[in-house]
Structure 1
């Protein structure tokens, strides 16, 4: 079952979750590695990961004693199709999404 658009957009609404998605564009990561750059507890990161998983944006699997996270590249397809219906947005591809995330996460100039 595909998550509904509300779930996907709610997951994307948080800057921490967008940063996590950007990190996962590079490669699969262990949960502990995902948590490392953030100034929050592992439990808080786990909650963010659960939201991204429920939205279908990532998947998680146990490998040995570690839980790994993987970006699900087709997860934004329905959101992209929905945005295209307005005629003013191009299809979202992962390269464009990565550029968008980099721009969103860039510190504001003073």
Structure 2
């Protein structure tokens, strides 16, 4: 139970920018349709990499907090990215459905 609260706490540092890029991806899909999936994929991948780089370099001390509770960087990032890509997939699916 405690690890869920810690994962949510970590995700809060990531959700704002990721949410903006997910909405931009959905808007691109809405405007240009299925041919834009390749662009959306690379856009999401590059922006996610940039966010990971930023958080890993400028919030290094925050990782010690999570490590003290037994959560590794790999666990934090894999959980966060899995949830983020799930949200992006659902947003794109809803956009494609209502397009």
TM-score (norm 2): 0.32
Higher-RCO chain (CA-CA 8 Å, sequence separation at least 6) = 2
| Greater C-alpha Rg | 2
Bigger strand fraction? 1
Bigger helix fraction? 2
